[in-house]
Structure 1
């Protein structure tokens, strides 16, 4: 296929991992919104698998008299799901060389970020991780470090106080490269290294798991009563022979939504505020002025600008009334 300018037409598939519990709702949502400007054929949905929940003694837990309690693999389920769904083979057959993988709960994420992808390619990396520096030693995020001589994400709970607060001569945290679930992978790395080792990636997580009581009625436990098997997406980092790490600015690329509305941090409210502040910065840098309540949201559609570029003709010398959505 060719573009109107005569060169090759850009093509980039968008892969969306769902769970059996969310698959239909997710597909329906994309259909209702006309796949957000993409063609239906270029959006590939694939489901992650599930594992049975177990008692601490290793017995299967029943959710009801006729069904087993199951849980999704965790975000590390992306690897077996890519293989089982046929998406990995499809990527290979269509000539896709690398993937930008990110979580859904970050509205400031830049999909297929050319800076990040280009950096990883320039380093001939098989795996890459985009990080933001921790705001404080207490911030509950995993960090990039070496564990057993291999690149790894070390969880917040695994760092002792001495390492958690350790600073270099410039006063910067030594263990500060916070993991934000924003990764690069070569397709060859997934195919040749990760897929053959998928069975070794599971962790035990002790959880409160609803179960069927002796009378068959559902019971919601008040304390941990079972074990879930989970895999984390960063479990493959130690398998990498050429990992690349790129630090970025929190205020530009990391607005996580993990807590309920009304929570002071990592909530829909805090994410909305960060989107507002960034988009206002873009508009003002391009010569525009913004009138109205400073808390009223200004949002620039990604179809108008990817990272603040190309706004001068649209806003220079103009006054925009907030709230507004530039589209």
Structure 2
């Protein structure tokens, strides 16, 4: 079963549904793909008044990736999941082509620990990497944002030389359905944060003005805000080169761009082929991609590539 959230609803909802329909739901049954929309919140002035973007139109913003919880509840999908016998969810929300959906190792680990929450992490590459980390805050499991750590804590290392605050959050989570319904839903109203932003507004003549500095606040929630509510959380560290190739920056950027993500996919798939006894022929930068229909994480490739030379670029499929 696949549940798809439209992050900029309702602006992109129909486009998302149409895209899945045009691609025949990527081989899945239409009945097993459920769509729901992220919510919005009104933008406010620093004094708490609602901002008009134009005459008769309230300025609104998506309510953050933590809006997934009220959206699931409001859409009826959370209750439908429970009634359908679904026990847990794997949620990931960073553009990451190396993410392993419904990873049996991660889900199985969380289930073996009787966890109601789980977080898959990669260790920070350096003290200055701008990612939040898993830590205890007020005695409760939390994601501590990069901006919340002082320089001393960012650089703090243990006796082996490893970063003490190094469990980088990559937005790859496990939740039990019971936890979301019984614990998170009743507390959703406490999850919103204020973010000071530049918000287009209607002037005295009704014309929309784009401000040059922050003029209002947006309300948004973060998906990891529920971690402190957890009775038992499981944290699994994984290898960056195998599971984390974020796309946050524009093409041509040296880090976290489509180019670097494409190269990480290439390197990982080449390593799978070589481990299975195959070789590649072609430029090192030419992308070799192994279709997930052929192998989920490099397993079962021997019979397809052993003793063979794969010409790249290539999409190796069944």
| TM category, shorter | over 0.9
Alignment of 1:85-96 (within 5 A): 85-96=75-86
**1:285: how far off?**
0.8
**1:104: how far off?**
4.8
1:192 aligned residue: 182
1:17 aligned residue: 5
**1:65: how far off?**
1.2
**1:49: how far off?**
0.8
Q: Secondary structure at the match of 1:260?
A: coil
User: Deviation string for 1:156-203 (max 9, x for gaps)?
Assistant: 000011111000000000000000000001111111100000000000
**1:225: how far off?**
1.2
Q: Secondary structure at the match of 1:320?
A: strand
The number of residues matched between the two structures is 315
1:155 aligned residue: 145
Alignment of 1:154-233 (within 5 A): 154-233=144-223
Instruction: Please report the TM-score for the alignment, with normalisation by the length of structure 1.
Output: 0.95
2:246 aligned residue: 256
Q: Secondary structure at the match of 1:139?
A: coil
1:124 aligned residue: 114
**1:148: how far off?**
0.3
Q: Secondary structure at the match of 1:181?
A: strand
Q: Confirm or deny: 8 A CA contact 2:94 2:170 kept in the other structure.
A: no
**1:282: how far off?**
0.7
User: Deviation string for 1:96-132 (max 9, x for gaps)?
Assistant: 0011110151110000000000000000001000000
**1:25: how far off?**
1.0
User: Deviation string for 1:252-297 (max 9, x for gaps)?
Assistant: 0001111111111111111111111111111111111111111111
Equivalent residue in structure 1 for 2:41, among 45, 48, 51: 51
**1:221: how far off?**
1.5
CA distance in 2, matches of 1:51, 1:167: 41
**1:217: how far off?**
2.3
The structure 1 segments of at least 4 consecutive aligned residues displaced by more than 4 Å after TM superposition are none
Is 1:26 the counterpart of 2:16 in the alignment? Answer: yes
RMSD (Å) for aligned C-alpha atoms: 0.8
CA distance in 2, matches of 1:300, 1:220: 46
CA distance in 1, matches of 2:202, 2:261: 38
Is 1:326 the counterpart of 2:316 in the alignment? Answer: yes
User: Deviation string for 1:217-253 (max 9, x for gaps)?
Assistant: 2222111111000000000000001000000000000
Bigger Cα displacement from structure 2, 77-86 vs 220-229: 220-229
2:232 aligned residue: 242
Equivalent residue in structure 1 for 2:287, among 270, 281, 297: 297
CA distance in 1, matches of 2:289, 2:93: 21
Bigger Cα displacement from structure 2, 219-228 vs 42-51: 219-228
**Structure 1 runs not aligned, ≥5 long:** 1-12
